[in-house]
Amino acid sequence: MEKSLSGEMKIIEEPRKPISMHPKKFAMWLFMATVMMLFASLTSAYIVRQAEGNWLYFQLPNLFYYTSFIIVISSVTMQWAYFEAKKDNLARVRTLVIVTSILGIGFLVGQFLAWGELVRSSVYFVGNPSGSFLYVLTGLHGLHIVSAVVFLMIVLNSAVRSRINSKNMAQMEMCTTYWHFLGALWIYLFIFFLINQ
């Protein structure tokens, strides 16, 4: 748009640049918002169903404490890998991504063993809704951790091929964000279970 002032002088307004986001990052944020809404609705349903009665109260598996510690440590190693990627230290990125993957697998193994602890305490998927909710919530979270470990393997492959560096951080940023999101989601679930057991 041009506005004439006195004869020769013109003011030209620069077109505003639209705020943009990497399409894959945008898709990932949409996906995480969907996951957040899913877990929010499930925990809300948990509270509503608990209030209706016929609810079995039981001790949470001790392994949940250990898996919570593992997921927090894995967030530290993932963030460290991100910082090393920004410094173009790919050897350390590879090591830290492998460590994070091992911790993620350790978390999944711990969750599976915790299910065994629940069964030994006579808490089953079928039966009382309190057990059903616990298995569904932890199982869904576990599936998302599996997807995050697959993402870590993709990032590791990119690091091995030197496709991640300080000027090409999109994939690393997405993986780090997703990993932290799932870690925070587990901590939310664990605290929720502690408060509502």
Q: Closest by alpha carbon to 176, among 38, 26, 39, 74?
A: 74
Q: Range of 152's domain?
A: 69-197
Q: How far apart are CA 178 and CA 183, in angstroms?
A: 9
Mean pLDDT (the chain) is 90
Query: Against a cut of 0.75, is the pTM above it?
Result: yes
Tell how far CA 72 is from the center of its chain.
12
The runs of H, that is alpha helices, within 7-89 are 23-51, 63-86
Specify the number of domains making up the chain: 1
Confidence of residue 22 (pLDDT cuts 50, 70, 90): confident
Residue 137 maps to which CATH number?
Answer: 1.20.120.80
Span 94-126, pLDDT tens digits: 999 999 999 999 999 999 999 999 999 989 998
Say how many C-beta atoms besides its own lie within 10 A of residue 18's C-beta. 5
- The CA dihedral of 97, 23, 87, 102, to the nearest 10 degrees, is -10
SS3 for 50?
helix
In a domain, 46, yes or no: no
Q: Decide: helix, strand or coil at residue 135.
A: helix
Q: Is residue 73 part of a domain?
A: yes
